[in-house]
Structure 1
Amino acid sequence: MRFLAAKRILQGLAIVIFAIAMLFGSFHAMTSAHAATMAGTPGDPNIKYIGRWDTHSSTLATSYWPGAYLKTQFTGRTVRIKLGTTASFFASIDNKADTFYSNASGTVNLTPTPLAAGTHTLRVATYSEHDSLQFQGFLFDAGATTSMPTISPKLIEFVGDSITAGATTTRHALSDYAWLVGEQLKVEHTQIAQGGICLSDSTACTSTGIGMNSQFFKMQTIYFPNSPTWDFSRYQANVVVINLGTNDNGHHISDASFQTTYVAFIQKIRTKYPHAVILALRPFKGAKAAATLKTVQAVNAAGDRNVHYIDTTGWITSADTNDGLHPSDAGHVKITAHLAPIVASYLG
């Protein structure tokens, strides 16, 4: 009798174990199937968005500001990107030279020559502040999967005008000092930059009268007057590099007004990035240099010692510009050679 009872217990345990195994197997199959259906979609967790992207929709991710980019890894030999509207962008596969796609739309083949079989890296970046990439997903080979790309835990946020946006250079956002510094230091980077913008809110600078003093805190550029506020919990910058004052000077904003606005701007940035190092650059041609220095001194005196003035005197000359103001490709390389080691010293 005891033998029969023990046998029944063992049979019961076997049935329970089998049921649990079937349950977990079914769960794993469902999870894998779900992951497969997500691969390449805007909601794929293996696609990482760097910069200011609207990702509230599972079927569309939209970038704003120049040089915003996304990164992923994928298997297979081919990849295409689906766009919701026309945009110019760069794509780099396996860390090779970027390919430029001008005014692309619809479904764009990023691998006209198929790749070798295996796992590949992919980065897609916008060309300028005029380009909003409406990303609707990637199309891979049948059975292809995605995996997590390498993402640096460090991020530099660059804030500025057309100079920081790469105006007049050959590749705009990808050939300016902001992009070059980030890439040289192998960290993530953003460019909150807009051609023609002042620090100050003034119609003397832009038709909207909106300056970086206000627009920095928005998701979108000044081309979107009803832009929602940016959610700063999406990422935290380790270093913020500000290069503003050239347009304020050109539009005769007084030094006193500029300084008052700049102090308030930095203090508001501090509320969004409590631990970031903030570097205020002397604009490369010296516009508002004295007011910028006084701004940093005022912020330091108020108790924030994590803000620093960077004297850029002599970094470039007029010969390093395309028009006497905007640095050439070579000029941005010179700026990068000076700025990268300074930023690196603050990144830790």
Structure 2
Amino acid sequence: MKLSRLSVVAAALGTALATVLATPPGAQAAAGDGTPTDPSIRFVGRWDTRNSSLYVPGWAGAYFTTGFTGTTVKLKQRDTIDLYYSIDGGPDIYLQNVRGTVNLTPKPLPAGNHTLRVSYRVVAGSYHGDAVFQGLVLDQGARTLPAQPARGMVEFVGDSITVGTTTSKNALTAYGWLVGEQLGLDHTQVAQGGACLVTTTDGCVGLDRRFVKVSAADGAVDHDFSRYQADVVVINLGTNDVGHGVSTTQFQNSYVGLLRTIRSKYPKAAILALQTFRGRYVPQTQAAVQTVNNAGDHNVFFVGTDGWVPPDGLSDSVHPNDAGHRAIAAKLAPIVAEHLPPRPSPTPTPSPTPSTSPSSTPTPSASPSATPSGPSIGCAVRYTVTNQWPGGFQSEVRVTNTGSTTLSPWTLRWTFADGQQIGQGWNGTFAQAGATVTVNGPDWGPALAPGASATVGFTATWNGANGVPTSYTLNDAGCRIA
């Protein structure tokens, strides 16, 4: 049977229309448009990206980051969700039960370039609500900007302890997130509350099998490991296996299997197998590491954790509290840093060789009003009191190198106005003389490159007043307060 010419045209139009309708929104996204496929948005951790109009994070600790222009930014969400967001490196702001187009800038920002990071809240590894990112809404004429790349990637594999259960912000106050932030790394937690190493017949989520998945959900698809490569993988598993009847032989064999799986996905990563903080399956963890070492993989290490959690660092008999996670991070960060691949040294720019020809014209001296062209030192500081109680408090100080030269080593100083005295500090070497505090960069992070930030923290005492310092220096150059 022959079709009329009109029928053929109609059929062709119908096919074209069907093709258009079948093309997911955002499939042809351009840089700067704020859709999920916008290459200026960097998705860190495990995300299900099969649908180009909505991206879904899987395991805990996933987040996205981007730059943007303009004065406002809004987040398009499918349904109700709890989330954290940070603009321009500021504190993470918590929003509950938001949906639709969520305004992240109720007070418009100054015009210019800004940065954004969004992390959806997790509870024991399951997202608290509908964690579905559908894009950003910016000012008319504004656009996203490429997110600044991190110096590397660290992935944490574990259970509710790695998720940060019982801490103030769950994943954001867990040791893995803290270590990544302290070292300036991308970071993610492939972790689930109640998870085991071994997949058990009574239903314990086993990371021996689910590590390769995009999420812990039953039927989850395999993660696309080409999206990123971890430089360091930290494993903290074994706390829950005892309660599910896992034998020592099962545990050791499954640990060897997990180490080999991780190696197959991350050929160059250093793998750190932590002793569980409760001391479970320690000989089997050590033996598993030794097995893969004996087979020729010498980039796998057992890490003892005795004494890492202080006596006041638990919220119950199992889970570290905020202080416990900070103590763990302080021990773990230098170990992770030690196993990062070395940064390539910047290629120095050769200075021009002055001409000695008699006919050369001398270069005139710069006038006093000329802008110097050499390296400069500049800095910005944000001081935050994160907790306070009668007679004591805890603070963080974030310093950013806004100059044009790498500072190695770096030294930060400030002066207290109300007699505060530091008791314990981390992420740097602290000294106090009278009211003046001096912090030297840690041995594992002595350099501060242009644009890079470092965050130091401390606990201190106060009496009567706890005023915020108003002046800071970085390598003796004055800093502006951010």
Q: TM-score scaled to structure 1, two decimals?
A: 0.86
- Say if 2:277 is the partner of 1:279: no
Task: Quote how far apart the aligned CAs of 1:210 are.
Answer: 3.6
Instruction: Say which of 297, 315, 323 aligns to 1:304.
Output: 297
CA–CA distance in structure 1, aligned partners of residues 171 and 82 of structure 2: 11
Kept in 2: contact 1:126–1:173 (CA 8 A): no
- The letter of the residue matching 1:344 is A
Matched, 1:216 2:211: yes
CA–CA separation in structure 2 for the residues paired with 1:239 and 1:93: 27
What pairs up with 1:82-231 in 2 under 5 angstroms?
Answer: 82-128=76-122, 129-131=125-127, 133-204=131-202, 207=203, 209-221=204-216, 224-231=217-224
1:249 is paired with a residue of what secondary structure? helix
- Tell me the residue number matched to 2:475: none
Task: Give 1:318 shift.
Answer: 4.6
Alignment identity in percent?
50
Alignment size in residue pairs: 310
Contact 1:203 1:210 in 2 (8 A): no
Counterpart Cα distance in 1 of 2:268 and 2:91: 35
The 2-side partners of 1:308 and 1:250 are apart by 26
Contact 2:77 2:100 in 1 (8 A): yes
Is contact 2:158-2:236 (8 Å) kept? yes
For the residues of structure 2 that align with 1:278 and 1:86, how far apart are their CA atoms?
37
Cα shift at 1:67: 1.5
More helix by share: 1
- Residue 160 of structure 1: how far off its partner (Å): 0.2
Distance 2:337 2:97 in 1: 35
Q: Contact 2:126 / 2:192 at 8 angstroms: preserved in 1?
A: no
Q: Please list every run of 5 or more consecutive structure 2 residues that lacks an aligned counterpart in the other structure.
A: 1-28, 342-482
Greater mean alpha carbon deviation, residues 337-346 or residues 97-106? 97-106
Unaligned stretches of 5+ in structure 1?
A: 1-33
Q: After TM superposition, which residue ranges in structure 1, 4 or more long, deviate above 4 angstroms?
A: none
The reply on whether 1:255 has 2:248 as its aligned counterpart is yes
In structure 2, distance between residues paired with 1:173 and 1:102: 16
Q: Structure 1 residue 269 and structure 2 residue 262: aligned? A: yes
Contact 2:277 2:309 in 1 (8 A): yes
SS in structure 1 of the partner of residue 94 of structure 2 = strand
Report the AA paired with residue 323 of structure 2.
A
Distance 2:163 2:201 in 1: 21
1:74 to 52, 55, 68: 68
Task: Give me the CA root mean square deviation.
Answer: 1.5
SS at match of 1:233: coil
Amino acid at match of 1:126: Y
Bigger mean CA offset, 315-324 vs 231-240: 315-324
Which structure has more RCO (C-alpha within 8 Å, separation ≥ 6)? 1
Q: Name the structure 2 match of 1:5.
A: none
- Aligned partner letter, 2:155: E
Q: Deviation of residue 112 (structure 1)?
A: 0.7
Counterpart for residue 239 of structure 2: 246
CA displacement at 1:86 relative to structure 2:
2.2
Would the aligned equivalents of 2:194 and 2:205 in 1 still touch at CA under 8 Å?
no
- 1:339 corresponds to 2:335: no
Question: Any idea what the Cα deviations from partners look like across 1:69-93, whole Å, max 9, x if unmatched?
Answer: 0011111111110111222211000
- State the 1:155 CA deviation: 0.2
Residue pair 2:151, 2:184 contacting (<8 A) in 1 also: no
Contact 2:154/2:230 (CA < 8 Å) preserved in 1?
yes
| Cα distance in structure 2, aligned partners of 1:103 and 1:246 | 32
